[in-house]
Amino acid sequence: MASLRRVKVLLVLNLIAVAGFVLFLAKCRPITAKSGDSFHDIHPRAEVANLTAHGISSIQDAVLKRLSLLEDIVYRQLNGLSKSLGLIEGYGGRGKGGLPATLSPEEEEKAKGPHEKYGYNSYLSEKISLDRSIPDYRPTKCKELKYGKELPQISIIFIFVNEALSVILRSVHSAVNHTPAHLLKEIILVDDNSDEEELKAPLEEYVNKRYPGLVKVVRNQKREGLIRARIEGWKAATGQITGFFDAHVEFTAGWAEPVLSRIQENRRRVILPSIDNIKQDNFEVQRYENSAHGYSWELWCMYISPPKDWWDAGDPSLPIR
């Protein structure tokens, strides 16, 4: 009897939920797009009136349309966060597709000081969207590879000191945009005692509102240097795998799965993805051919041609030792 009573209660609750949902669709006022906006008016009352004709599918369509509208509204709200910093979100801006970005002669004059300060054209960086598209230079076979769904999650750790804010945020946006959500545990920004004001409250307020709960900021109280800063990031990480990156990078689609898959096969592996180049003067993305990374005796990073047996295998998707 008790189990029968529970079943009846559940049925009643389900009926109430369905009725409430239909009433919600019927009563909600239509959201009207402002002139120039890219979405259309929704009239839920008309949709509800046609429920009997179209059945459940029309409810699903209405929900999907409303979610699409809400996505647009939320995006516009979030986009305002970057505007207050003088930065651009979305897929506009200069340098789309990884092409060279340019400045006018007047802007070139303004860019000289920041360029000398950061070692790259930070003034131009502010004209490039935080979400800009870049080419996918992976070999065709790499794009065709399939990976299991049960891959471990990664904590992405960026180390910076007095980096340009636009470059840091583009690194963060790029990581979020091109890492599957179920694989990205968190992003940790380790500030190795910067003294730039824009890297304090403005940076923290932006990431807390734009990516609440996803991005953490770790502040070193004194300059620790690269390796100790990485260790501080590792201490704060909660993902199964940690990835350490400079805070001036852009990710492409499909970067994470092969890395996580290789480590899942053997947890002792340290993986380095293939790295292309972003030119410091115009932010053009420059393709680097297949190569491994190594170090000279002076500990300068260098690109090394793959060994003969890798070339003989004729499979560009194979890892390079």
Instruction: List, for residues 73-114, the tens digit of each pLDDT value.
Output: 665 556 678 888 889 998 888 999 999 999 998 888 888 887
Given a cut of 90, whether residue 283 has pLDDT beyond it is yes
Name 186's Cβ contacts closer than 8 Å, sequence gap at least 6.
155, 156, 214, 215, 216, 237, 238, 239
Q: How confident is the model at residue 144 (pLDDT cuts 50, 70, 90)?
A: very high
Residue from 255, 107, 55, 93 nearest 169 by CA: 93
At 31 the pLDDT is 38
Pair of tokens at residue 321: 């030792």
Given a cut of 90, whether residue 225 has pLDDT beyond it is yes
250 phi and psi, to 5 degrees? -135, 130
Name 237's Cβ contacts closer than 8 Å, sequence gap at least 6.
155, 157, 185, 186, 188
Question: How much of the chain exceeds pLDDT 70, in percent?
Answer: 78
In the chain, which residues fall in CATH 3.90.550.10? 142-277
CA distances to 183, 205, 289, 293 from 275, rounded to whole Å, are 21, 31, 9, 9
At 291 the pLDDT is 79
Q: Domain spanning 142-277: which CATH class is it, in words? A: alpha beta
Given a cut of 80, whether residue 320 has pLDDT beyond it is yes
Compute CA 241 distance to the chain's CA centroid, rounded to the nearest angstrom.
17
At 20 the pLDDT is 53
Predicted TM-score (pTM) of this structure? 0.75
